[in-house]
Amino acid sequence: MKLERRTLLQLPLLAKKPKITSAPAKQDTLRTLCEFIVPGATEAGVPEFIELLSGENAEYKRQISGGLLWLDARCRDRYGKPFLGCSQTEQKELLDLIAFRENAQKDPTLSQATAFFAFLRDLTLDGYFTSRQGIAYLDFRGNSALSEFPGCPPIL
């Protein structure tokens, strides 16, 4: 029996497609956010990775669901339409507002949204860089033996 190394995103568990919410708009919003954070994240399976983790952790699910609801509500207040209905410029404008902690210090009403975006950014990066595409991007060559060890370079 030959054992193969698999990344988390290749596990059969993902065939069940755990959902943060049954609303397709929320799933599409999550995909859009992941793509804003790391282009190619959807192809790498990052939204499914986040949904898998959220399906196993009630706190993760609460944070993600709450953040998605906040985004839609804020877009409706600002632009009169949900996040996905906004133009890419409007979406980017709102994400720029919550992407930086300094903005939350200036406007305390943004503190929870900023925490949500930081949490989502961390999950997106974790998912991407543990995927096949992320590992290839890093040119990771670990788990291979060296025929000789050249040692450390001299200190200049």
Sorted by where each begins, the domain ranges of the chain are: 20-34+42-137
C-alpha to C-alpha distance for 116 and 99, rounded to whole angstroms: 9
- The predicted-structure confidence for 81-124, as pLDDT tens digits, reads as follows 999 999 999 999 999 999 999 988 999 999 999 999 999 999 99
Cα distance between residue 59 and residue 65, in whole Å:
10
Q: What is the pLDDT of residue 145?
A: 81
- For 18, the 3-state DSSP assignment is coil
Distance between CA atoms of residues 101 and 121, nearest Å: 13
Task: Evaluate if pTM is beyond 0.75.
Answer: yes
The pLDDT score that the predictor gives to residue 21 is 57
Residues of the chain with pLDDT under 70: 1-22
Find how far residue 6's CA is from the centre of its chain: 20
Question: Any residues with CB less than 8 A from the CB of 135 and at least 6 apart, and which?
Answer: 7, 129
